[in-house]
Amino acid sequence: MTEAFAPDRLSADKAARYTELAQEIAAVLDGEPNRVARMATVASMLASSFEHFFWTGFYVVDADRPRELVVGPYQGTLGCLRIAFGRGVCGAAAQSRQVQLVDDVHAFPGHIACDARSRSEIVLPVFDPDGTLIAVLDVDATEVAAFDAVDAKGLGLILEQTFGAL
Ligand code: SME
């Protein structure tokens, strides 16, 4: 039998793992200014750091259509290509510029089901050093209620150090 998903057990180590991961990401990206390379690295390193992360990636604000997100670097099954601001969990994060923590995506009005296996998700806004919204980070899990405030804080710090003012 595989080990059961245990959010409580995980959350004890989770904060420490995020701190470690933030350092690992900073080390890998040292001297690399390209934003796509930075997003791809974060998506990949997040995916391989937490077993229950089913989809990790970015939806980027489209330069040509500023009220629309377009898929960026990600790890996981096929994601939908475009999401309008205000639509689904990613669109809500882009519109509100606030973290969206969704315990059960089936209960979220307008949730976009790219993959039916996704059951909970966290989406964070991503800002550049000027405070301009450049993307959202979307992390999905196949378990209900897989994310909490520790994830919001850990992921937020990684985004700030990677894309915000250093
Ligand atoms: N679930 C998201 C759509 C993107 S995917 O899950 C990859 C949403 O409702 O915003």
Atom of ligand 1 nearest to the CA of 115: 6
The tens place of each residue's pLDDT in the chain, 166 residues long, gives 344 555 555 566 899 999 999 999 999 999 999 999 999 999 999 999 998 899 999 999 999 998 999 999 999 999 999 999 999 999 999 999 999 999 999 999 888 888 888 999 999 999 999 999 999 999 999 999 999 999 999 999 999 999 997 5
Q: What is the CATH number of the domain that holds 21?
A: 3.30.450.40
Question: How many angstroms does the Cα of residue 30 sit away from the middle of ligand 1?
Answer: 30
pLDDT score for 8: 53
pLDDT score for 12: 61
Ligand 1 lining (C-beta closer than 6 Å): 55, 79-80, 83, 88-90, 111-112, 114, 118, 121, 138, 140
Question: How many angstroms does the Cα of residue 98 sit away from the middle of ligand 1?
Answer: 16
Contacts of 150 (CB under 8 A, 6+ apart): 11, 14, 15, 18
What dihedral do alpha carbons 107, 113, 115, 119 form, nearest 10°? -10
Paired tokens of 146 = 């897989």
Q: How many domains does the chain have?
A: 1
Domain residue limits at 118? 3-163
Nearest alpha carbon, ligand 1 atom 1 = 112
Q: What are phi and psi of 97, to 5 degrees?
A: 60, 30
- One-letter amino acid at 87 equals R
Closest CA to 161 of 30, 10, 9, 68: 30
> Are 137 and 121 in contact, with CB atoms under 8 Å apart?
no
> Are 128 and 63 in contact, with CB atoms under 8 Å apart?
no
pLDDT score for 1: 38
Question: How many angstroms does the Cα of residue 12 sit away from the middle of ligand 1?
Answer: 27
Q: What are phi and psi of 95, to 5 degrees?
A: -65, -45
Question: How many angstroms does the Cα of residue 31 sit away from the middle of ligand 1?
Answer: 31
pLDDT score for 2: 45
